[in-house]
Amino acid sequence: MRSLFFLLCLFFLTTYSAVGQDCNKDAAKTYLNNLFQSGQYLSYDSTLFPSYSKELTEIKTPLLNKVLPNYCFFKTIFLSNYYEYMNVKTVLAFSTSKEKKSQLIHSPTFSRPSQQFIQLFYGITVSDTAQSVTLAKEITNMFSDITSGGHFNRLVNLKEKKVISFELWHSDLSWRIYDFYFDDKNKLTEIKITGGVKREEMREGYKRL
């Protein structure tokens, strides 16, 4: 009897997890289609986008999938009216829960970040410093994925030991520095984003690994 009860509990838990992490592209496309139903989508940065690419690629975020089970991350391209910047790489944080809102963020080379998107990660608690680094790396990797010529490297923050820092590059230009603030319980409390620095010098308080 106990074995049967255990199997039933395991089945319901497995089913719940599958529902909570329903990362199918069709649902994400439906969400985007609804945004563009009026013909133009007014984005968070006041850009009017007339359409978007129908291709969505899921971004692999193993740790984020565990700590944010109600979100899946996709990258796509929004098509703008700007001749000099027509293809805007974009990340969709697609919510699989009716209680959570989906969020978008455009390429760091196109506009400022969406604070609603950034704040999705606030309050996430991980088990140790190693997981804190992994979490910060997965988030930075999303920004790198939507940056032309994007790549990133780890920085050592010489002033604040609990801060984990990464430097995002736009081809050979240091473009942004991301500082991830964790408290003593390994909870992410803030992400500060500042401009990059020249290759020949390093901003005071950081050291490249």
Query: What DSSP state is assigned to residue 5?
Result: H
Domain boundaries, position 50:
22-114
- 126 with 188, same domain? yes
- 83 with 131, same domain? no
- 140 with 209, same domain? yes
Residue with tokens 């497995």: 14
Would you place residue 4 in the very low, low, confident or very high pLDDT band (cuts 50, 70, 90)? very low
In which element (H, E) is residue 173 found?
A: strand 173-182
* Number of folded domains that form the chain: 2
- 28 with 105, same domain? yes
- 65 with 107, same domain? yes
Q: What is the pLDDT of residue 192?
A: 97
Name the pTM for this structure. Answer: 0.86
pLDDT digits (tens, 9 = 90+) for 98-148: 889 999 999 999 999 999 999 999 999 999 999 999 999 999 999 999 999
Q: What whole-number percentage of the chain has pLDDT above 70?
A: 87
- 127 with 92, same domain? no
Q: What is the pLDDT of residue 14?
A: 37
- 92 with 147, same domain? no
- 98 with 154, same domain? no
State the amino acid at position 104 in one-letter form: L
Closest-CA residue to 76 (of 31, 114, 115, 140): 31
3-state secondary structure of 9: helix
Given 114, 147, 170, the domain boundary residue is 114
Q: Indicate if the pLDDT at residue 156 is higher than 80.
A: yes
Q: What is the pLDDT of residue 199?
A: 60
